[in-house]
Amino acid sequence: MSALSRISTKFLPFADAASDALPLAQLLRLSLFQISVGMAGVMLLGTLNRVMIVELSLPATLVAIMVALPVLIAPFRAFLGHKSDHHRSALGWKRIPYLWFGTLWQFGGLAIMPASLLVLGGDVVHEVPFAGEVLAGLAFVMTGLGMHMTQTAGLALAADRATEDTRPRVVALLYVMYLVGMAISALVIGWLLRDFSGLTLIRVVQGAAVATLVLNMIALWKQEKVRPMTKAEREEPAPSFGDAWRDFARGGPAGRLLVVVFLGTMAFNMQDVLLEPYGGEILGLSVSKTTLLTATWSAGALVGFALAARWLSDGINPYRMGARGILAGLAAFSAVIFANPMASEFMFFSGACLIGFGGGLFSVSTLTAAMTMPAEGSAGRGLALGAWGAAQATAAGLSIAIGGGLRDTINQIAISGGLGEALNSPATGYSVVYHFEILLLFFTLVALGPLVRTQSTYSRGEAGKIGLADLPT
């Protein structure tokens, strides 16, 4: 039995994430909420933005605004995490109510999404001014709110149930499940949409809504113990969000770290709404092929995650590891830019893979620093997870909106001849956005530099454990 235990730990990297408080079967079941969040992410940032721009012929600026709407809700993640830390209920549940209502919001948004997009694209019987914009915006906001609420509460619940020793491994498993969910969803959705039509779009997106409800119901079932609270306990005032945030900020150089997260996320995510349209419009790839970009990105992120494990186990400074991710991003965007003049699908997909690799390294490094930053007073796990997620997702939302607007503006000038004959091409707007992302990566390096002195190494824990187990998300 001892030999079998060693074999399972060796070949199943997260076998040692289980504990008496959180058995492996319950842990794997709980991780299903990350699959649903990853699936919704593929819908919002991959498939639907390509469909809106290419198949429905909507302006990239409008599409970018729609896709950015759910991400701009992200500043509330820290607040949601704090509220779940100190939630008062007769049953004593803190995380389950937020998981449940997050699931309902996510389900509702996806359920009305396809019909809203078809109305936005002009497929209507009765013309109602701005009906498409309002309905599509509402669908995106509902889906985004559900994703943020579900993910923040789910991660906090997993961290609560894990022991001190297994907590980093548990949260790392959830990160991997998120990437796996994105990769599998991208493959399945791409295959289902290989012959695009409005009816197929409705079936696929509403099928994803049903899958979200089923997965999250299975995930949250009996995951939090009932701890009845007395009336006095329920009426006891909870710490204010402002006090908890100040406690968190006093734990270390949180301000500069959040600036780094913000700049780096903008640099890596400005292309989110443009990468698939770039492949479809400029390189002539099909919907099925461009949807595979998300799977390619996820594969690159998983490779970056594995390398991060090795480097952290060797005692690397997490900020230095983040710099390596930024350098990989420079190579990634250069490959995407040159894919057009070289007419190379291989270079394009290689660039997408490197974007995932560099972004994965950067995200893991900054999150490792955030989770190991000491907090004080009333700052709980939900707030810590929410603060990092808020900075990252807010930057992603702004960068998506800026990227779409910049692409449309530059293309309008270029195609009208304002930039000369050499740049009179629809590829010019895309290229400018990718060059701007390279500039932002250099700004991120500048902001990251002073943090290297604040933390020389990452304390890895028990020697000999596979590094994947020590990475939080």
Tell me the average pLDDT across 128-143. 83
Give the pair of three-digit tokens for residue 166.
Answer: 């297994």
Do 389 and 45 form a contact (C-beta atoms < 8 A)?
no
For residue 89, pLDDT beyond 80:
no
Per-residue pLDDT of 242-292, as tens digits, reads 655 665 665 556 677 778 888 998 888 887 767 777 777 777 777 667 767
Give the pair of three-digit tokens for residue 320.
Answer: 């230095």
Number of H helices, E strands in the chain: 19, 0
Sign of CA dihedral 411, 413, 415, 417: negative
Cα-to-chain-centroid distance, residue 263 = 15
Do 88 and 437 form a contact (C-beta atoms < 8 A)?
no
pLDDT of residue 326: 92
- Which residues, 6 or more positions from 79, have their beta carbon under 8 angstroms from its beta carbon? 241, 386
Q: Hey, what domains does the chain have and what are their CATH numbers?
A: 22-449 (1.20.1250.20)
- Which residues, 6 or more positions from 343, have their beta carbon under 8 angstroms from its beta carbon? 283
pLDDT of residue 59: 76
User: CA-to-CA distance for 349 and 210, rounded, in angstroms?
Assistant: 31
pLDDT of residue 240: 60
- pTM, two decimals, is 0.66
Tell me the average pLDDT across 139-146. 88
Per-residue pLDDT of 13-67, as tens digits, reads 555 566 666 777 888 888 888 899 888 888 877 777 777 777 777 777 777 777 7
- Which residues, 6 or more positions from 344, have their beta carbon under 8 angstroms from its beta carbon? 338
Least confident of 85-94, 106-115, 116-125, 202-211: 85-94
Do 39 and 351 form a contact (C-beta atoms < 8 A)?
no
pLDDT of residue 468: 38
Q: Taking each helix axis from N to C terminus, what angle separates 96-120 and 131-161, rounded to the nearest 10 degrees?
A: 160
User: CA-to-CA distance for 305 and 337, rounded, in angstroms?
Assistant: 25
pLDDT of residue 461: 45
Do 255 and 249 form a contact (C-beta atoms < 8 A)?
yes
pLDDT of residue 244: 59
Kindly write down the DSSP assignment for every residue of 341-391, as one continuous string.
HHT-HHHHHHHHHHHHHHHHHHHHHHHHHHHHS---TT--HHHHHHHHHHH
pLDDT of residue 358: 92
Q: For the chain, what percent of residues have pLDDT higher than 70?
A: 73
pLDDT of residue 458: 43
pLDDT of residue 199: 82
Per-residue pLDDT of 362-391, as tens digits, reads 887 887 776 665 555 445 555 666 677 777
User: CA-to-CA distance for 119 and 36, rounded, in angstroms?
Assistant: 26
The pLDDT-based confidence of 214 (bands split at 50, 70, 90) is very high
The pLDDT-based confidence of 225 (bands split at 50, 70, 90) is confident
Kindly write down the DSSP assignment for every residue of 434-472, as one continuous string.
HHHHHHHHHHHHHHHGGGGGG-S-----STTS-GGGG--
Do 143 and 44 form a contact (C-beta atoms < 8 A)?
yes
For residue 327, pLDDT beyond 60:
yes
pLDDT of residue 215: 92
At residue 250, φ and ψ (nearest 5 deg) are -75, -10
Q: What is the mean pLDDT of the chain?
A: 75
